[in-house]
Amino acid sequence: MTAAMVGWAHTPFGRLGDETVESLVTRVANDAMADAGVGPEDIDEIVLGHFNGGFSKQDFTASLVLQADDRLRFKPATRVENACATGSGAIRQALKSIASKDAKVVLVVGVEQMTTTPGPQIAENLLRAAYLKEESDIPAGFAGVFGKIAGNYFQRYGDQSDALAMIAAKNHKNGVKNPFAQMRKDLGFEFCRTESEKNPTVAGPLKRTDCSLVSDGAAATVITDIPTALGMKKAVAFRNMTHVQDFLPMSKRDIIRFEGCREAWSRALTAANITLDDLSFVETHDCFTIAELIEYEAMGLTKEGEGARAIHEGWTEVDGKLPVNVSGGLKAKGHPVGATGVSMHVVSAMQLAGEAGDMQLKSPELGGIFNMGGAAVANYVSILQPLKA
């Protein structure tokens, strides 16, 4: 272990029309520093996760974090982008700076403002995370990409509509207890399973309830080296963080295996010297319900083609053997692209620090996080644990 999270902050996710990228960034930056008990003068480096992709006219945004406090002036600040895994990419950059001793205290912020963009443009912006040379004509944008993945999965393993609806219902039920969640409503299995005017088919076998939400929001964390963290009021350490990048074109991969996700989990668990059974919970990237289903298999919870078993048998419920997306996941919490990876780390740290409020599990010891960009192209797995002196 070389680093730990020692403070964090999180805005509500949703339609935040009164906010801007700048106001969201400065708000969580100040709140995270205050939560960590550090001042701007203590920060050695700033890393901003911001996908943008056309959502914001202001495309040079790293220095917006300096707007939080004049004392941040002249601190090194860099923007990181890796599609929907942008936030985790920013956190990994912080860990690398700390490991190399270029920095001792790093402020990481993730942000996106999506809802001020017209619907068709949102779809176009998100599709830029696909391989446009081959995939630009897939209808319905990125929902179409995952609709195609779901269709291929169903063709190989049978209709999994019940399992997808159960995943959606689970995550929406969990989201009710998350004060940051965009949708805090228990929709129930029947609503998620049934095509209706309020829950129409979007792409392939995917309905609206199978798709994550278009969101605005930000999250931030202060990360320090272990000796510094040991002197802080709270600390959640990185037992490991692994990054695996796969081919961009889906045509070069067996897309329903999420091989990059599988490799990232295997490497992270091995490096942390644990097995999946040692984890108390997992926050995983449910941009679409089919993604969570395949991720059950890729993380090793079930065999290939048997992901539905995990949800049918209740393994991933809050009271199951491996709770998945206790926060409500992207499905209920929302998915402001650049903020998502940081958010996943923040809500996991809250669990391990005993600060998760109504979401709190009983005495969690190890948390796993999987955040991905594109269709399992950028794959990040983190293993977190409370740091004890």
Per-residue pLDDT at 360 exceeds 90:
yes
Q: What is the pLDDT of residue 1?
A: 85
**Contact indicator for 290, 157 with CB cutoff of 8 Å:** no
Give residue-wise pLDDT tens across range 217-248.
Answer: 999 999 999 999 999 999 999 999 999 999 99
Percent of the chain having pLDDT more than 70? 100
Domain residues of the chain, as ranges? 3-117+214-229
Q: How far apart are CA 10 and CA 185, in angstroms?
A: 20
Percent of the chain having pLDDT more than 90? 97
Single-letter code of the amino acid located at 338: G
SS3 for the chain is CCEEEEEEEECCCECCCCCCHHHHHHHHHHHHHHHHCCCHHHCCEEEEECCCCCCCCCCCCHHHHHHHCHHHCCCCEEEECECECHHHHHHHHHHHHHHCCCCCEEEEEEEEECCCCCHHHHHHHHHCCCCHHHHCCCCCHHHHHHHHHHHHHHHHHCCCHHHHHHHHHHHHHHHCCCCCCCCCCCCCHHHHHCCCCCCCEEECCEEHHHECCCCEEEEEEEEEEHHHHCCCCCCEEEEEEEEEECCCCHHHCCHHHCHHHHHHHHHHHHHHCCCHHHCCEEEECCCEHHHHHHHHHHCCCCCCCCHHHHHHCCCCCCCCCCCECCCCHHHHHCCCHHHHHHHHHHHHHHHHHCCCHHHCCCCCCCEEEEEEECCCCEEEEEEEEECCC
Q: How far apart are CA 223 and CA 284, in angstroms?
A: 21
Packing angle, helices 161-175 and 289-298, rounded to 10:
100
Per-residue pLDDT at 389 exceeds 80:
no
- Whole-model pTM: value is 0.98
Distance of CA 223 to the CA centre of its chain: 18
Give residue-wise pLDDT tens across range 304-319.
Answer: 999 999 999 999 999 9
Give residue-wise pLDDT tens across range 316-338.
Answer: 999 999 999 999 999 999 999 99
Structure token digits, residue 82: 């890796």
293 CB-near residues (< 8 Å, 6+ apart): 153, 160, 163, 164, 167, 307, 308, 311
Q: Which residues are catalytic?
A: 84, 335
Q: If we measure between CA atoms, which residue out of 267, 268, 327, 242 comes closest to residue 292?
A: 327
Task: Summarize the confidence of residues 354-376 as an average pLDDT.
Answer: 98
Q: What is the pLDDT of residue 139?
A: 86
Task: Summarize the confidence of residues 355-374 as an average pLDDT.
Answer: 98
Topology of domain 3-117+214-229, per CATH?
Answer: Peroxisomal Thiolase; Chain A, domain 1 (3.40.47)
Q: If we measure between CA atoms, which residue out of 105, 131, 114 comes closest to residue 43?
A: 105
Q: What is the pLDDT of residue 141?
A: 86
